[in-house]
Amino acid sequence: MGLTPSGMQPFELDGSMVVCNGELYGFEKEREKLKQKGYSFRSDSDCEIILPMYFEYGTDMFSMLDAEFACIIFDGRTKEFIAARDPIGIRPLYYGYDAEGTILFASEAKNLVGLAGKIMPFPPGHYYKGGSFIRYCDIASPGAVCRDDLETACSNIREKLIAGVKKRLISDAKVGFLLSGGLDSSLVCAIAAKESAAPIETFAIGMSEDAIDLKYAKQAADHIGSHHTEVYMTPDEVISSLEDVIHLLGTFDITTVRASMGMYLVCKAIHERTDIRVILTGEISDELFGYKYTDFAPSAAAFQAEAEKRVRELHMYDVLRADRCISVNSLEARVPFGDLDFVKYVMSLDPEMKLNKYGKGKYLLRHAFEGMDYLPDAILWREKAAFSDAVGHSMVDYLKEYAAKCYSDAEFEEKRVRYGHARPFTKESLLYREIFEKYYPGQGEMIADFWMPNKDWEGCNVDDPSARVLSNYGESGK
């Protein structure tokens, strides 16, 4: 928003300054309130309201924002710095301390390497002030349980997701959509298509020989009438991009790296071939409604606890992947399933309702859009396929084969034990860790652990994060 020179950051007001990487939804209403209080604005940028809000409300302002953001404020009155991050951590922010104990902030961990001792992700839903991190929103913890019945819940899910997509279509730059052919991205695209006067632009990627998703993405695109582009990747592109992707991600997590290969390459193609600068994606649905492995949850309480854990950790996994793969290609990511009102509602629903008792995962989300002509039934009721698998089973196999050639069994055992935190347990995980250490030496604790199914649950003690290895994967890969 506010793409003219007057919208350039930092913004300054009475000796205070702010820089913000963010999207503040509904900012026009707040700007009007601030105008009535005597503030004037020089641009159409949403981020220009931050300093006036801070002057009016102090740090209470952060819980008032409907936004995905990371920002740093310099308070000219007190000469102190305040930093804050959105409740999910959709926008990246890292911190560390230099040798003198001064705190340092950066959007990318790589910018703190060599400057800070230990680099860590800034905790989502917190602000930093006066030497302390203070939580202003714990979005994963719903407080009271919502007892809406099934049909009411599904109606609210539909209305809130539609609202989340609509507000993310407002942009001064051209908007495009990643369409994997899975339920989540297809729903985002279908809603956007209904809300847009002109056909939307959708993009899908896959291996040329066995990409499950390309087939389903085309079905969805044909149904919603989008201008659809297919991007193909080769084994050589995957392997040659691996080091760059791990460097830009700042992670060694197996799932995140695998799923980033296709996303990075499709976003690279979008940047090189189009003038699109904003991308809507389907992340964050799994954490709310369940993965394939959460079918094995032993109880509703266990399902809810797992969902809360996943939402709290999103900023290290799927959200990190989406932001990095998109942003490094000079695009902006927007995530409708991460809409704060939507997330708060779904997390508050009775977990008994969210358990897979229906013979189909994510039943609430599917049923919410059933019979509404948003998507063909083949997409709406399609079994989930893991993103890294669905772009082509062979892609994951190529990565595994490549890693297997890098180490003998003896080398693998000798090298993996060097790591106490998140110890590599396959040759693939060791390869990713060694590349990570090349760029982020000694910074492994930035990532809590490997993203894996809950090993404490029966049927989930597996040695690979892919849903492919689960007994209930079934029709997902077809």
Q: Determine contact, residues 311/343, Cβ cutoff 8 Å.
A: yes
pLDDT band at 385 (very low <50, low <70, confident <90, very high): low
pLDDT band at 386 (very low <50, low <70, confident <90, very high): low
- Which range among 161-170, 380-389, 395-404 shows the weakest confidence by mean pLDDT? 380-389
Please name which of 313, 393, 302, 262 lies closest in space to residue 139, comparing C-alpha atoms.
313
Q: How far apart are the first and last CA of the chain?
A: 41
Measured CA to CA, the distance from residue 55 to residue 50 in angstroms comes to 9
Q: pLDDT tens-digit profile of 13-56?
A: 999 999 999 999 999 999 999 999 999 999 889 999 999 999 99
In this prediction, residue 172 carries a pLDDT of 84
- Which range among 212-221, 253-262, 379-388, 423-432 shows the weakest confidence by mean pLDDT? 379-388
Measured CA to CA, the distance from residue 165 to residue 43 in angstroms comes to 25
Q: pLDDT tens-digit profile of 270-319?
A: 999 999 999 999 999 999 999 999 999 999 999 999 999 999 999 999 99
The domains of the chain, with CATH numbers, are 5-135 (3.60.20.10), 150-477 (3.40.50.620)
pLDDT band at 383 (very low <50, low <70, confident <90, very high): confident
Burial class from Cβ neighbours inside 10 Å (0-12, 13-18, 19+) for residue 462 reads middle
Q: pLDDT tens-digit profile of 123-174?
A: 999 999 999 999 999 999 988 999 999 999 999 999 999 999 999 998 888 9
Regarding beta strands 201-207 and 175-178, do their DSSP bridges make them parallel or antiparallel, or are they unpaired? parallel
In this prediction, residue 393 carries a pLDDT of 58
Residue 477 has pLDDT above 60, yes or no: no
Give strand ranges (E) for 9-156. Answer: 11-13, 16-24, 67-75, 80-85, 94-97, 103-106, 120-121, 126-129, 132-135
In this prediction, residue 4 carries a pLDDT of 65
pTM score over 0.85: yes
Residue 476 has pLDDT above 60, yes or no: no
Residue 468 has pLDDT above 90, yes or no: no
Q: Token pair of 43, please? A: 């641009």
